A and B are shown apart, each in its own frame.
Chain A
Amino acid sequence: MTKPVSKAKPAPAPVAGHNAVPLKLRVPEPKARPGQPADFSHMTFPAAGATRRPDVSSKSDDMRDLAYGLVRVLDESGTAVGPWAPKIDPEVMKRGLRVMMMCRVYDDRMYRAQRQGKTSFYMKGTGEEAVTAAAALALDDSDMLFPAYRQPGLLFVRNWPMLDMMNQIYSNAGDRLKGRQLPVMYSAKDAGFFSISGNLATQFAQAVGWAMASAISGDTRICATWIGDGSTAEGDFHHALTFASVYKAPVILNITNNQWAISSFQGIAGGGEAPFAARGIGYGLPSLRIDGNDFLAVYAATQWAAERARTNQGATLIEHFTYRMEGHSTSDDPSRYRAADERQKWPLGDPIERLKQHLIKLGHWSEKEHVQQQEDLEKEVKDTQRQAEAIGTLQSGEKPHPSTMFEDVYKEPDQRLRKQRQQFGF
C-alpha cells in the first residue's frame, strides 16, 4: 500500500494593489564610456586641511564622518595644511619620492619587457604609488605586510634587491620562488612581505590572523594589508572585518580604491551609495577615507592607524581614494570600457608630481635634482634589468632546475611524487 503524499496549498497569487509598480533591477553604470568625455563632476571632496583629526582613542561611532569625508593634506599649491599634516622629516619625504619614482620606472621597464616577449605578464601600479610608499615608510620595517599585487614600493622601501624581483618577473634561475609564480606575485619573508596570491582578497583575512598571533604572543609588531576596491566584494573582506573587530586585532586594513576592477567601475563592487570606508562602521571599526594620491595624507593616516594598533586599540579601515592610470595588466585594453581622457581629468592629480611640488616649495628639492634622479633611476633599473637578463628570461637563458617542480608540494615529497619525478627523468 502506498502512503498518501501530503498535498500542499498552491502559492498565493500576488496581492493586487500591493505591488502595482513593476519592480526594476538597478545595475550601476559609470558616468562615461568610450567615446564620451570623462566625468568626475559627481566626486566632490572637502578642501585639503578641512577634515578633523580625531584622537586615536576615538570610537568608530564618534568618527563616522571620517568614513564619508576625505582626509587631504596637500593643497593645490603643494602646501601641507590642516590637522592631519604629519610631522615628517624632509629626508623621509625625499625617500618617498624616490621610491615612487622608482616604482614608475620599474613598472615601465617590466611592462616593456613583457611586450618584448621576455615574460608572460605584468601589472603596473601607475598612479597608486603613494598608497604603498607612504604607508611602508610610516610603518616600522619589522611590521608585517600582506600585500596585493600592485605594490613593488613596499619592497623598495624595505631595500629588497630589485634584481631579486626581476628574477621573479623572468622566472629565471635566480628566482627564489623557483619559477613557480606568475610575474609580480612576489614573496619576501625576510622583508616581512607575505607571498602574494593570485586569488583575490585572501590576504586580507590572513593579515588579521597574523595580527591576532602577534597579540596572542605578546609581540609588539603590527600588520598591514591591502585589497582592491573590486575585491572588497569577496567574502574574505568581510571575514577580515569581522575578526579584526571581534579580537581588536593590531592590523591596518587598507582598501586601494583605484576606481576600477578590470572593466568594472567601483559602483559594481560597492553599489556606489556609500564609500568603501563606510563598511567599517557596521563592524565598529574606526574608518577613514583619504586622498590616496596625497603622500602626506597616506603617511598621516597610516601613522594614526599604527598608533591605535600599537596601543591595543585595534584595527582601522582606510580607503585610499586613487586612480588606476593604466590598464589592468598586460592582458588588458582599457580603451574598450572607459573614457579615453579619464587619466587627464582625474581630479586628485599625480602622487609623484604632488609630492615633488611640495618638496620644491619647502626648498628641499629642485626641478634639476628631479630630472637627475629620474635619469639615475632609469640607469639603475636598466642596469639591474641587464643583470637579470644575463641570468635569463622566461624564454631564454638559465631556468630553475626542472626537478624542483616536485619540491615544496609537501615538506618531503611523498612516494608518488618521487615516482613522478623519476618518470619525468630525475
Chain B
Amino acid sequence: MSSMNMIQAINSAHAVMMEKDPKVVVFGEDVGYFGGVFRATEGLQAKFGINRCFDAPISEGGIVAAAIGMGAYGLRPLIEIQFADYIYPAFDQLTSEAARLRYRSGGEFTAPLTVRTPYGGGIFGGQTHSQSPEALFTHVVGLKVVVPSTPYDAKGLLISSVEDDDPVIFLEPKRLYTGPFEGHSTDGVKTWAGHPAGEVPDGHYNVPLGKANIVREGNAMTVLCYGTMVHVALAATRETGIDAEVVDLRSLVPLDAETIIASVNKTGRCLVVHEATYTSGFGAELAAIVQQECFYNLEAPIDRVCGWDTPYPHVFEWQYFPGPDRVGAAMKKMMEA
C-alpha cells in the first residue's frame, strides 16, 4: 500500500500493466520523455523503453487510428488524448471504427484499446479544457465508458479497462487529480493524503467495470453521480443533513442498473448529478431507467442537476459548475415534494 494521488495511481496502473503484459503500449501527445502534461505517464519511457511509451504527433484521429491498427495486430494500446475537449478529431475512428469493428467483422477483429482523457472543469480552463463529453460516447454502442472518482478506483478501473477486450473511454476528472474536491470554489486545495481511497495497493488489482459503489448509505433519497460530482454530492449531503444514499456509478457503460434500482426502490427519491450539459446528458438515460423500473416506489419526480446548456465560460466557472449549493437546493426541494 502507498499513499497516492490520482495521477500517481493512474501512473501505477500503467506500470503494473506494462510489466504484466508486453502487449500493452502507451502513446499520446507529450506522454513519452516528458511524461504527459499532467504527468500521468512519468517515468514509463525510462522504465519500459521508447517502443513501449512514446510521443505521438498532434493528431488525435491518427492516435486512435494507429491504436486500432495495433489492436488488430494483437497489441493492447493504452493511449492518452491530452484533454477530452480535443478528442473530437478522433470521433470518426472511435465511433465508426473502434466501436463497431467486432460487430462488422463477426468477432474476427477487435479493438482492445483504452483511451484515457482528462475531462471536467474546475481549473479555469475555459471552454476548451473543461468539457464532459461522456454522453457522446455512451450513445455509441460498442464503446465502454468509465469514470473514476478516487485514486483507488482510478487504478483498479484502469487495469480492468486495459484488460477488457473492448474499447474503453476512460474519463479522468482532472480536478480530482491532486486531491478530492467538494465543489466550493473558495475551498483550499486538499490532497489525497489521509483520504481512505488515497491508500492504493502497489501491485495489480481490479475494480470491475459495471459495478457501482455506494459511497454513502442513506434512506431519504438516492443521488446518482460519478467523477468529480461524487465529492460534490457527499458535501451537499453533509451540508443539508439529508440522509441521502450516494451512488458512484464508476462506469456508465456497462451500467450497474441493479444497484441503482435497488437504491431508488429503497429511498423512493432520485436525483441525478453531472457536470456535463443538461440536455441529452447521461442523466436523461438514468432518469428514464429509474422511472421505468422504480415508478411505483417514487415519491417525487426524478430531478437532474447538471451543467447549464452553454459552453463552459471561463470567468463563470463557478456559476456554471453544479456545486454543492445547487445540488443541496435540489435535494431539499425533492424532500419537500
Cross-chain contact B310 with A417 (CB below 8 angstroms): yes
Chain A: residues with Cβ within 8 Å of the partner, total of 47
Cross-chain contact A185 with B55 (CB below 8 angstroms): no
Tell me the nearest residue of chain A to B90, going by C-beta.
Answer: A235
Report chain A residues within 8 Å CB of B319: 402, 405, 424
Bound Cα distance from A175 to B129, whole angstroms: 20
Q: How many A-B residue pairs have CB under 8 A?
A: 124
Tell me the nearest residue of chain B to A271, going by C-beta.
Answer: B57
Report chain A residues within 8 Å CB of B129: 182, 198
Contact of B2 with A by CB under 8 A: no
Report chain A residues within 8 Å CB of B316: 179, 402, 405
Report chain A residues within 8 Å CB of B56: 268
Tell me the nearest residue of chain B to A179, going by C-beta.
Answer: B315
Report chain B residues within 8 Å CB of A185: 126
Cross-chain contact B310 with A409 (CB below 8 angstroms): yes
Report chain A residues within 8 Å CB of B89: 234-236
Bound Cα distance from A261 to B28, whole angstroms: 13
Report chain A residues within 8 Å CB of B57: 230, 233, 264, 268-270
Cross-chain contact B37 with A405 (CB below 8 angstroms): no
Cross-chain contact B279 with A180 (CB below 8 angstroms): no
With A179-B315, A416-B278, A424-B319 already in contact, the answer to whether A268 and B61 are too (CB < 8 A) is no
Quick one: which of A120, A197, A416 has the most chain B CB within 10 A? A120
CB distance from B206 to the nearest CB of A (A): 30
Cross-chain contact B310 with A406 (CB below 8 angstroms): yes
Cross-chain contact B58 with A27 (CB below 8 angstroms): no
Quick one: which of A175, A261, A262, A263 has the most chain B CB within 10 A? A263
Contact of B103 with A by CB under 8 A: no
Contact of A95 with B by CB under 8 A: no
With A234-B59, A261-B58, A405-B313 already in contact, the answer to whether A424 and B37 are too (CB < 8 A) is no
Interface flags for B309-323 (1: CB within 8 Å of A; 0: not) read: 111011110011000
Chain A 23-45 residues near chain B, CB threshold 8 A: 25, 27, 29, 33
Cross-chain contact A262 with B309 (CB below 8 angstroms): no
Bound Cα distance from A179 to B126, whole angstroms: 9
Interface flags for B31-44 (1: CB within 8 Å of A; 0: not) read: 01110010000000
Pick the residue among B127, B309, B310 that contacts A198 (CB under 8 A).
Answer: B127
CB distance from A229 to the nearest CB of B (A): 9
With A234-B58, A261-B58 already in contact, the answer to whether A199 and B313 are too (CB < 8 A) is no
Contact of A336 with B by CB under 8 A: yes
Tell me the nearest residue of chain A to B330, going by C-beta.
Answer: A423
Report chain A residues within 8 Å CB of B54: 27
Report chain B residues within 8 Å CB of A337: 33-34
Contact of B30 with A by CB under 8 A: yes
Tell me the nearest residue of chain B to A337, going by C-beta.
Answer: B34
Bound Cα distance from A198 to B89, whole angstroms: 13
What DSSP secondary structure best describes chain B's contact surface? loop
Interface flags for A378-400 (1: CB within 8 Å of B; 0: not) read: 00000000000000001000011
With A230-B57, A262-B29 already in contact, the answer to whether A179 and B314 are too (CB < 8 A) is yes
Cross-chain contact B58 with A181 (CB below 8 angstroms): no
Pick the residue among A180, A233, A394, A424 that contacts B62 (CB under 8 A).
Answer: A233
Contact of B51 with A by CB under 8 A: yes
Tell me the nearest residue of chain B to A270, going by C-beta.
Answer: B57
Cross-chain contact A200 with B58 (CB below 8 angstroms): yes
Pick the residue among A27, A120, A197 that contacts B50 (CB under 8 A).
Answer: A27
Report chain B residues within 8 Å CB of A200: 58, 86
Contact of B85 with A by CB under 8 A: yes
With A198-B128, A394-B124 already in contact, the answer to whether A400 and B59 are too (CB < 8 A) is no
Contact of B88 with A by CB under 8 A: yes
Cross-chain contact B125 with A182 (CB below 8 angstroms): yes
With A230-B58, A234-B59 already in contact, the answer to whether A180 and B309 are too (CB < 8 A) is no
Bound Cα distance from A180 to B88, whole angstroms: 21
Contact of B205 with A by CB under 8 A: no
Contact of B308 with A by CB under 8 A: yes
Pick the residue among A120, A180, A236, A394 that contacts B313 (CB under 8 A).
Answer: A180
Chain B 293-327 residues near chain A, CB threshold 8 A: 308-311, 313-316, 319-320
Chain A 240-269 residues near chain B, CB threshold 8 A: 261-264, 268-269
Cross-chain contact A180 with B278 (CB below 8 angstroms): no
Report chain B residues within 8 Å CB of A402: 316, 319
CB distance from A118 to the nearest CB of B (A): 12
Contact of A287 with B by CB under 8 A: no
Tell me the nearest residue of chain B to A332, going by C-beta.
Answer: B37
Contact of A331 with B by CB under 8 A: yes
Bound Cα distance from A391 to B34, whole angstroms: 39
With A181-B126, A337-B33, A405-B320 already in contact, the answer to whether A264 and B55 are too (CB < 8 A) is yes
Give 13 new A-B contacts, CB below 8 A, not counting A182-B128, A234-B60: A120-B124, A179-B314, A181-B127, A233-B59, A234-B61, A263-B33, A263-B34, A263-B37, A331-B37, A402-B319, A405-B308, A409-B310, A424-B319
Chain B interface residues (CB < 8 Å from chain A): 29-30, 32-34, 37, 50-51, 54-62, 85-86, 88-89, 124-129, 278-279, 308-311, 313-316, 319-320
List 28 A-B pairs, Cβ < 8 Å: A29-B50, A120-B125, A171-B314, A179-B315, A181-B314, A182-B126, A182-B128, A182-B314, A197-B128, A198-B127, A199-B86, A199-B128, A233-B57, A233-B59, A234-B58, A235-B59, A262-B34, A263-B30, A264-B34, A270-B57, A336-B34, A337-B34, A402-B316, A405-B320, A409-B311, A416-B279, A417-B308, A420-B309
The 5 closest A-B pairs by CB, nearest first: A198-B128, A179-B315, A233-B57, A182-B126, A263-B34
